[in-house]
Amino acid sequence: MNGRIYCFNPAHDMALANNTPFYKAPDEIVRMAYDLAVLPGWYGRQNAKVKIDEPKQAELLRSQTDCEELFPDMEWTLKWESCEYVPWGWDPSLLHTLRLAGVDEDFLLTDPQMERIRCLSGRQQCIRILEALRPVPDVCGEANVCRSVNEVRFCLSEMGEIMLKAPWSGSGRGLAKVSPSTWTPSLEGWVNRILRTQGEIMAEPLYEKVCDFAMEFYADGCGGIFFIGYSLFETDSHGNYKENKLHSDEQIGGILSAYVSADVLERIKKELTVALSSLLGSDYKGCLGTDMMICRLNDGFRVHPCVEINLRMNMGIVAHEVNARLVHPHSGGVFRIEYHSGPDEALAAHHTLKEKCPLQVADGKILHGYFPLTGVDSDTRYRAYILVE
């Protein structure tokens, strides 16, 4: 056994959409990958390695970790080695990078395996999951595949207001809210570009969302699907990820059961496990999450059980692992990813929170305060941290 290397490649979703080994990520995503490179240190299995670009990324985090016993028990490596890889997600661009670095093919996906994972990562798969969960009480959700502009127009005329989604796109990207009054030549051009490059586009009804949550799973690559836990998260108006609540599964279940019964949630989990096993079979091994939401309908609240399937690691699982590893059982809080547009902004915010929310540790866990999960300096644009109270 040659060990295991975790790596953070946040361009994954866009690389799948681009579907070429030669994909080049936008500068902002390259920056995110650099600033948050140490993030797998908080969710990776102990005694593994984390791929970073420079030693200072780990050194900076260590220098800003006020409690040494909380620092991740991981090795850091600058090299792509021949061993098992656990990326944020598999895509043709990462596969090409590893091959160029000389990683043995025994540790990599084959091209047909990569194409199968891309297919399973498309938003079209939500239709199959929604159909399987339709018999569950108190659920809602509908998704339609359109292969022409005329089919999009038909969905618009039938539903009045819809959400259009590219089958493959990054978080918060590839989405457009449309109504008959907002349909424009520019929007039609965007739809045509998606159809030309991806072949299809999704059209879904709009729902009155009360809250976002997810069920997180691990697929063993042999058809086994295992529940990791709940994720309760928030996004901004564009669908970009903002934060996760640091709560136990019992606490999140209690929050959700204010809208729908615990029995309904348990039934969704059970049926979803069966449906995911049927969908993935032996074609995928790794973490995945199914985004859901509580919706307000005329007769009360319903669960939309499959807004999106993330066939990769995701921030909900990171938050779940961070909560279990770092947060005291008597405390809770938030896990956040923040973007700062200018130099020194992230460092100033880091110092402000450190002063306002000093760290308190009890029994080797955080009882209260601010704790950075990634290092911050004057050039930092993206940072991850938790606030515990």
Q: Is-contact 58 38, C-beta < 8 A?
A: yes
Q: Looking at the 3D structure of the chain, how many domains does it have?
A: 3
Within a domain: 360: no
Helix, strand, coil shares, percent, the chain, to 5: 35, 30, 35
The sign of the CA dihedral 202, 207, 212, 215 is negative
- Above 80 in pLDDT, residue 170? no
What pLDDT band is residue 91 in, cutting at 50, 70 and 90?
A: very high
pLDDT at 239: 76
Using the predicted structure, report yes or no on whether residue 46 has a pLDDT greater than 90.
no
Amino acid making up residue 278: S
* Nearest-angstrom CA–CA distance, 387 and 333: 5
**Are both 128 and 226 inside the same structural domain?**
yes
Which of 254, 281, 316 corresponds to the end of one domain? 316
Query: Given 165, 189, 205, which residue is the final one in a domain?
Result: 205
Residue 98 is assigned to a structural domain of this protein: yes
Sequence-separated (6 or more) residues with CB below 8 Å from residue 117: 90, 109, 283, 284, 311
The answer on 184 and 257 residing in a single domain is: no
Is the pLDDT reported for residue 339 higher than 80?
yes
Range of the domain at 63: 1-121
CATH number (domain holding residue 192): 3.30.1490.20
Q: Give the distance from CA 346 to its chain's centroid.
A: 23
Q: What percent of the chain has pLDDT over 70?
A: 99
Domain-embedded: residue 347: no
* The pLDDT of residue 75 is above 50: yes
pLDDT of residue 1: 44
% of the chain beyond a pLDDT of 90: 94
DSSP 10: T
Q: What is the mean pLDDT of the chain?
A: 96
Judge if 169 and 217 occupy the same domain.
no
Report whether 305 contacts 141 (CB < 8 A).
yes
pLDDT confidence bin for 171, thresholds 50/70/90: low
Task: Please count the other Cβ atoms lying within 10 Å of the Cβ belonging to residue 339.
Answer: 14
Instruction: Please report where in the chains the tokens 């991740």 appear, as a residue.
Output: 72
- Joined together, the tokens standing for residue 44 give 């990776």
Average pLDDT of 49-70? 96
> Pairing relation of β-strands 162-165 and 175-178?
antiparallel
The last residue of one of the domains, among 268, 297, 316, is 316
Lowest mean pLDDT across 159-173, 197-211, 216-230: 159-173
CA gap 190, 259 in Å, rounded: 37
pTM of this structure: 0.95
**Beta-carbon contacts of residue 134 (< 8 Å; ≥ 6 apart):** none
* The pLDDT of residue 376 is above 60: yes
Which tens digit of pLDDT belongs to each residue from 263-299?
Answer: 999 999 999 999 999 999 999 999 999 999 999 998 8
Note the pLDDT tens digit of each residue in 180-199.
999 999 999 999 999 999 99
Tell me: the pLDDT tens digits for 10-19? 999 999 999 9
Does residue 4 sit in the same domain as residue 107?
Answer: yes
Domain identity same for 94 and 240:
no
**Encoding tokens for residue 364?**
């080797």
CA torsion angle 381 90 274 131 (round to 10): 80
Predicted pLDDT of residue 237: 74
* pLDDT band at residue 2 using 50, 70 and 90 as cut-offs: low
Distance CA 168, CA 1 (A): 35
The residue among 267, 265, 315 whose CA lies nearest residue 289 is 315
366, part of any domain = no
Q: Please give the average per-residue pLDDT across 319-337, as a whole number.
A: 97
Angle at 298 between CA 297 and CA 303, to 5 degrees: 25
218 inside domain: yes
Are 9 and 57 part of one and the same domain? yes
Q: Do 37 and 128 share a domain, yes or no?
A: no
Is 289 in the same domain as 188?
A: no
| Cβ atoms 57, 40 nearer than 8 A | no
147 is written with which tokens? 């292969």
The answer to whether residue 339 is domain-embedded is no
Do residues 128 and 258 share a domain? yes
Q: Residues 133, 268: one domain?
A: yes
Task: Decide if 326 is inside a domain.
Answer: no
Structure tokens at 218: 């691990």
Q: Which of 178, 174, 184, 149 is nearest to 163 (CA)?
A: 178
pLDDT tens, residue by residue, 222-249: 999 999 999 999 988 777 889 999 999 9
Q: 190 and 69: one domain?
A: no
- Any long-range contacts for 351-357 (C-beta under 8 Å, 24+ apart)? 353/385, 353/387, 357/387
